[in-house]
């Protein structure tokens, strides 16, 4: 920070950056502050105040609704399956595109990022045309008596589609910067591939993996569009937490919908908090020369 010269001197020097004058600063900060309060803070405040409108006991009673409890369970199971699978995929994908040069590498990176650009609704519809009764494998699955659509496997598959880039996107840039020297040294000294990965690579990228996993978890738990297509929204069976919110809202049970929403909001705020903490942790390590 430059030392603060008095106003006359500063005007004379004429080197103050644009917008650093007291009036410009106050106006810009004021506008941004007010809009942020209206746009970002008000929705959060409303969620908690609406959920608490029937009192704390009322909130707890709404959270104890059997449908909401079942939705929490289903959402947790989905996340417990989808997040570890996504971590394995993310690590494999990052290892492939950062440690090796091969034809089609750029295409592979583009493919990893592709789900990020596709509407969740399109993803849901696409899965229906694979596993649904109208789909490619639909008749075969029906004969075998395997239910994918309108059941847990479909929900997991849709979640995996929308979150495919999450871990990979965090890990790839980091592994790219770190290069291959350390791994090459380890392998040359006789370490096995697995030992190299666990002892050399993983310590370098652990925070990025964790960060990607946290983001992936938040998205899996909150996914609405893709899951609402493939789940069929069967009350008490395939309603995940976001779908339960919609269901309660359509039943005019607004307090119940907001109670269910507080759990997901709490997870979202926790995700942001962990992000800030992880950035600080990994920042401390990575800024070392």
Partner 1 sequence: MPRSVIPGFGLSFGITVLYLGAIVLLPLCALILKASDIGLVQFWAIVSSPRTLAAIRLTVTMALVATLFNAIYGTLLAWVLARYQFPGKRLLDALVDVPFALPTAVAGLALTALFAKNGWFGAPLDQLGLQVAYTPLGVAIAMAFTSIPFVVRTVQPVIEDLGTDVEEASRSLGASDFQILSRIILPSIFPALLAGCSLAFARSLGEFGAVIFIAGNQPMKTEIVALLTFIRLEEYDYQAAAAIACVMLAMAFVMLIITNTVQAWQLRYLGRSGQ
Q: Which of residues 106-165 bind partner 1 (CB under 8 A)?
A: 108, 111-112, 114-115, 117-123, 125-130, 134-136, 157, 160-161, 164
How many residues bind partner 1, per CB under 8 A?
A: 97
Helices 66-99 and 55-63 cross at an angle (nearest 10°) of 70
For partner 1, the binding residues in 15-34 under the rule CB under 8 A are 15, 17-20, 24-25, 28-29, 31-32
Burial label, 67 (beta-carbon count in 10 A; 0-12, 13-18, 19+): middle
Query: Any idea what DSSP says for residue 178?
Result: H
Least Å distance, CB 152 to partner 1, is 16
> Cα dist. 186→126, 182, 196, 197 in Å?
44, 6, 6, 10
Closest CA to 68 of 252, 242, 268: 242
Least Å distance, CB 177 to partner 1, is 16
Of the candidates 5, 7, 12, 40, which one interacts with partner 1 according to CB under 8 A? Answer: 40
Alpha carbon distance 12, 34 (integer Å): 33
| Residue 203 engages partner 1 in binding (rule: CB under 8 A) | no
For partner 1, the binding residues in 208-267 under the rule CB under 8 A are 218, 221-225, 228-229, 241-243, 245-246, 249, 254, 257-258, 261, 264-265
User: Please, which residue, 77 or 130, has the CB nearer to partner 1?
Assistant: 130
Residue span 52-81 as binding mask against partner 1, x where in contact by CB under 8 A, dash where not:
------------------------------
Closest CA to 209 of 184, 183, 172, 176: 172
CA 51 to chain centre: 24
Alpha carbon distance 38, 23 (integer Å): 23
Of the candidate spans 39-47, 56-64, 169-177, 203-211, the one that interacts with partner 1 by CB under 8 A turns out to be: 39-47
């Amino acid at each position: 920070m430059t030392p603060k010269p008095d106003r006359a001197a500063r005007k004379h020097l004429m080197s103050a950056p644009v917008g650093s004058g007291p009036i410009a600063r106050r106006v810009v900060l004021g506008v941004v502050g007010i809009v942020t309060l209206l746009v970002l803070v008000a929705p959060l405040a409303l969620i908690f105040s609406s959920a608490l409108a029937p009192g704390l006991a009322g909130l707890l009673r709404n959270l104890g609704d059997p449908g909401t409890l079942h939705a929490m369970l289903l959402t947790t199971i989905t996340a417990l399956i989808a997040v570890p699978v996504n971590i394995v995929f993310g690590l494999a994908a990052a290892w492939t595109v950062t440690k090796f040069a091969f034809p089609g590498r750029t295409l592979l990176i583009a493919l990893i990022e592709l789900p990020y650009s596709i509407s969740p609704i399109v993803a849901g519809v696409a899965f229906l045309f694979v596993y649904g009764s109208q789909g490619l494998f639909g008749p075969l699955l029906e004969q075998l008596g395997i239910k994918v659509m309108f059941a847990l496997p479909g929900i997991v598959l849709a979640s995996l589609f929308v979150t495919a880039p999450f871990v990979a996107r965090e890990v790839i840039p980091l592994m790219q910067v770190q290069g291959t020297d350390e791994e090459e040294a380890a392998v040359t000294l006789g370490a096995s591939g697995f030992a190299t990965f666990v002892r050399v690579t993983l310590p370098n990228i652990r925070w990025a993996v964790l960060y990607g996993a946290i983001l992936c978890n938040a998205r899996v738990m909150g996914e609405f569009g893709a899951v609402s297509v493939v789940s069929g929204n069967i009350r008490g069976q395939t309603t995940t937490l976001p779908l339960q919110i919609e269901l309660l809202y359509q039943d005019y049970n607004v307090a119940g919908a907001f109670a269910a929403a507080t759990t997901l909001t709490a997870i979202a705020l926790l995700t942001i908090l962990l992000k800030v903490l992880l950035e600080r942790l990994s920042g401390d390590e990575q800024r070392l020369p």
